[in-house]
């Protein structure tokens, strides 16, 4: 089974692209959804409370906005949350990929926002980096309720868009509407499928 990793900067449209790959036959794994489930576990809540305090909880649940306010306040906090959560996410990703493989899946899409920033080695064969124009990126996130200050605070801890693209096997420009994005994704998937049929000729990260 070949894993297509999808990553990109905050607000670039990673989930949109991941879902497009899913429609083409590569079931998707969303690292953010895994994190959300982890935050609901008692063991993880205890770890978070010990490291970030009781103020990150609201009605017994992790208040992600409050937690974000702490972890995006500086590199030390950002490194701490990544060191605590990323290994747990990686374990769950591996479990899901194993299940896909046992089901006979040829491809899987793995969406990880901080794939290139993480110290954990997430398994993948092809790296797809999603990007869009800054104006489009900020506009989308502001519609979702993020302030410019919040957006800049998060982007500060991510590799610049151009640095991510340099590391990519394939790049998707998600600036100009869903149809154009979908066309790019289809072309990439067809190329990956054709490469998969040529033994010994696969690019990517092994």
- pLDDT score at 198: 61
* Cβ atoms within 10 Å, residue 167: 13
Which tens digits make up the pLDDT trace of 104-114? 999 999 999 99
Given a cut of 90, is residue 134 above it in pLDDT?
Answer: yes
Average pLDDT over residues 2-6: 97
- Percent pLDDT > 70 in the chain is 96
Every domain of the chain and the residues it spans: 2-196
- Identify whether the C-beta of residue 20 lies closer than 8 Å to the C-beta of residue 6: no
- pLDDT score at 7: 98
Name the residue among 16, 75, 84, 71 with its Cα closest to residue 45.
84
Average pLDDT over the chain, rounded to an integer? 93
Which tens digits make up the pLDDT trace of 24-70? 999 999 999 999 999 999 999 999 999 999 999 999 999 999 999 99
In CATH, the architecture of 2-196 is: 3-Layer(aba) Sandwich (3.40)
Residues in the chain: 206
pTM of the entire structure? Answer: 0.91
For residue 123, what is the DSSP state? -
């Amino acid at each position: 089974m070949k894993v297509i990793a999808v990553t990109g900067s905050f607000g670039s449209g990673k989930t949109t692209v991941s879902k497009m790959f899913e429609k083409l036959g590569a079931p998707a794994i969303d690292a953010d959804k895994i994190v959300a489930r982890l935050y609901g576990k008692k063991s993880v809540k205890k770890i978070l409370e010990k490291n970030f305090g009781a103020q990150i909880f609201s009605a017994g649940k992790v208040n992600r906005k409050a937690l974000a306010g702490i972890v995006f306040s500086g590199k030390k906090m950002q490194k701490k949350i990544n060191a605590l959560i990323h290994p747990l996410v990686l374990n769950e990703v591996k479990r899901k990929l194993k299940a896909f493989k046992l089901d006979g899946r040829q491809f899987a899409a793995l969406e990880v926002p901080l794939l290139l920033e993480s110290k954990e080695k997430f398994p993948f064969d092809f790296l797809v980096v999603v990007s869009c124009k800054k104006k489009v990126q900020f506009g989308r996130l502001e519609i979702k309720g993020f302030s410019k200050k919040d957006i800049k605070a998060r982007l500060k801890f991510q590799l610049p868009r151009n640095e991510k693209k340099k590391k990519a096997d394939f790049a998707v420009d998600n600036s100009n509407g869903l149809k154009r994005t979908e066309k790019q994704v289809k072309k990439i998937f067809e190329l990956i499928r054709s490469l998969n049929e040529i033994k010994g000729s696969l690019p990517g990260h092994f």
